Homo-oligomer: A and B are copies of this chain.
Amino acid sequence: MNGEALYSFAEEQLVEPVRLAIVGAGYWGPNLLRVATELPQAHVEFVCDVRPDALQAVARRYPAPRLTTEFDDVIAAEDVDAVVIATPPSTHRTLCLAALEAGKHVLVEKPLATSVRDAQTLVAAAERTGVLLMPGHTFLYSPSVNVVRDLIQAGELGDLYFISMSRVNLGLHQADVSVAWDLGPHDFSILRYWLDEVPSMVSAFSRSCVTDVADVMFVSLEFPSGTIAHAELSWLAPSKLRRTTVVGSEKMVVYDDTSNEPVRIFDSGVVLANPSTFGEYQLAYRAGDVVSPRVAVTEPLMLELADFCLSITRGSKPRSSIEVGLDVVRMCDAADRSARARRPRRPEPLDARATT
């Protein structure tokens, strides 16, 4: 239950490591490089960024792969099997498409794309060229997220009443997308992973405080199963919060990746007991032990990259699958549309033609 099964990813040996190019050496790219450098299943051939100084910074810190400012070098290189895209969201469509059409497998940072249409275009391209397209939903590899998922799937929490999520801190404003597309994919991918369903309705409320994109958003989500969820997303906050509360009929869980005890299980609840003949509710409250299970400390990004490489080699489907990626884009899109319309919105249905 502590996420240890995840280790198997990183331990498995491949005959030949997958040869990677990492595109984007800004905030997240160096993490991918660091992890790829340590992973036996991967070998970094190229790092690509349009900014020469970003490449130099990489060269100072890591054993030297080839460096280039030209994306075309990367997709033309015969010794590159797969491309890892860690550039701003608005560039995903163009870069991924070019890489897919060059026959490269692609791991692209969340979100897959910034519209449902673009996401479907990428999926179609990957199907056409027979390569793997994987969105980088890192939280699906978080040991804590998996501990909670195991609890949910084992029925330990009972019926899932609601999930309340806060993901706020000061910065970093994105220039090209709202906070729904930037922070939302984390919580939406976790919800999709835990509940195995897509919301039937999304209702968002936002404000563009500093620039003209929404930088604070309150998103309510209603799922077909009856579970509801709420995510507070903000680039404006006095301190960092990463707090998710899962309330079930049997137990409750607090998941907070910033805590030393990232998963806390509360044996608490309320039960309808002995309903009187007069129709009054007799509620009994129960507050039992609180348990913080040991959680493995494996780095999720390493597991994600290992899953990418192993899925290429085996031809299998990664945990962070294209279906998850598409659904997360649909949720981001519905939240953004709802916030603008100030009315609840349904996630856009997938166009069957686009993905076949």
Contact = CB atoms under 8 A, between A and B. Distances in A.
A20 to B, nearest CB: 15
A224 interface: no
B230 A237 contact: no
A298 to B, nearest CB: 15
**Chain A contact patch, size range:** 35 or more
A76 interface: no
B61 A60 contact: no
B264 A238 contact: yes
A83 interface: no
Given A60-B38, A61-B38, A289-B291, A268 B170 contact: yes
Interface stretch (A105-113, A122-130, A188-196, A210-218): A210-218
B283 A294 contact: no
A266 interface: yes
A213 to B, nearest CB: 9
Given A247-B236, A264-B238, A343-B343, A210 B270 contact: yes
A8 interface: no
Highest count of chain B CB atoms <10 Å: which of A205, A207, A216, A285: A205
A277 interface: no
A264 B234 CA distance: 19
A59 interface: yes
A230 B245 contact: no
Interface string A255-292: 00000110010111110100000001101010111111
Contact of A270 (B63, B170, B175, B288): B170
Interface string A228-241: 10101011111110
B288 A294 contact: yes
State the number of copies, please: 4
A236 B270 contact: yes
Interface in A135-188: 161-162, 164, 168, 170-173, 175
Interface in A37-53: 37-38
A285 B237 contact: no
Interface pairs A-B: 9 shortest CB-CB: A238-B266, A205-B220, A238-B252, A290-B292, A161-B209, A218-B230, A171-B285, A288-B294, A207-B228
Given A62-B62, A175-B281, 15 more contacts: A161-B209, A170-B268, A170-B287, A173-B281, A203-B342, A209-B247, A216-B228, A235-B270, A238-B253, A238-B264, A289-B291, A289-B292, A292-B292, A343-B343, A343-B344
22 contacts: A34-B61, A37-B60, A38-B60, A61-B63, A161-B207, A161-B209, A162-B236, A170-B270, A170-B287, A203-B342, A218-B218, A218-B230, A234-B247, A236-B269, A237-B245, A238-B247, A238-B252, A238-B253, A239-B254, A289-B292, A289-B294, A342-B344
